């Protein structure tokens, strides 16, 4: 089989990535997966995502920017 992802897509399967990260967003690899690898959606476990925000520095700049602008958490989440 030349392209197993094509076969899955042709069979009606939606390819989702369960690995959202700031690095994927910043580097463009996420966009590449959508453009070339038939990925149609992305998700992440909320606990893992929260740990990424609080346990590393990948999101520090974005979080500091939001805080400096006084963005309310509920406003940022659309509540």
Q: Give the per-residue pLDDT at 1.
A: 57
Q: Does one domain contain both 3 and 38?
A: yes
Q: Does one domain contain both 21 and 50?
A: no
Residue 15's φ and ψ, nearest 5 degrees, are: -85, 120
Cα angle: 23, vertex 28, 55; to 5 degrees: 10
Residue 61 structural domain: 46-79
If you ran DSSP here, which 8-state letter would residue 70 be given? T
Q: Does one domain contain both 12 and 36?
A: yes
Length of the chain: 79
Q: Does one domain contain both 38 and 51?
A: no
Which pLDDT tens digit goes with each residue over 45-56? 888 888 888 888
Residue 6's φ and ψ, nearest 5 degrees, are: -65, -40
Say how many domains are in the chain. 2
Say what the pTM is.
0.65
């Amino acid at each position: 089989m030349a392209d197993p992802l094509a076969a899955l897509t042709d069979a009606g399967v939606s390819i989702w990535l369960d690995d959202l990260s700031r690095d994927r967003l910043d580097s463009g690899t996420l966009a590449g997966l959508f453009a070339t690898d038939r990925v149609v959606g992305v998700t992440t476990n909320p606990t893992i995502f929260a740990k990424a925000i609080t346990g590393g520095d990948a999101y520090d700049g974005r979080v500091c920017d939001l805080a400096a602008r006084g963005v309310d958490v509920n406003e940022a989440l659309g509540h």
